[in-house]
Amino acid sequence: MGIRHTPRTCYNIAALAEAGYYNDTVFHRIIKDFMIQGGDPTGTGRGGESFYGGKFEDEITKNLKHTGAGVVSMANSGPNTNGSQFFITLKPTPWLDGKHSIFGRIYSGMGVIQKMGLVATDSEDKPKHAVKVHRAFAMREAPDMGGLNGTEQQQHASIMAG
């Protein structure tokens, strides 16, 4: 989805994943009916840096919008402050358009993401029990769609194409 519109962001995430940066990190912020956030190796929401070192520029495009559940974007603390943190939406979040670099969409396992959005959290939206990324890896090509029927393949292909 995003490689065409957000190449530096996609490269950052893929390079960090391949380096093992995200392995055994927690989703440190979960807000029911909004989003789940991870990618901070400190688990605090205040850490993490990009593959480039420090922060890097936004890649905002009008072609990509937070139109529904499963949109994957960079978390930031303001313009041009992308590092390693990302979030996954649990519903449409149009107020985030133009503020966060979108680089992907969940293509499989959205049921798991939705369940993650229901975990118990404290008053600061931190999960009461750890929700972890055990192992992250970069995909170099579209996933195998052999188990999908024709209509599902077309829907999947349109999501992958952005």
Residues marked active site are found at 29, 34, 37, 76, 87, 96, 100
β-partners of residue 87 are 37, 73
DSSP symbols for 64-82: ----STTEEEE--SSTT-B
Q: For CA atoms 130, 136, 141, 146, give the dihedral sign.
A: negative
**Phi and psi based region of residue 39 (left: phi greater than 0; alpha: psi -120 to 50; beta: remaining):** left
CB 25 within 8 A of CB 43: yes
β-partners of residue 126 are none
**How many distinct helices (H) and strands (E) make up the chain?**
3, 7
Q: Please name the amino acid found at residue 38.
A: G
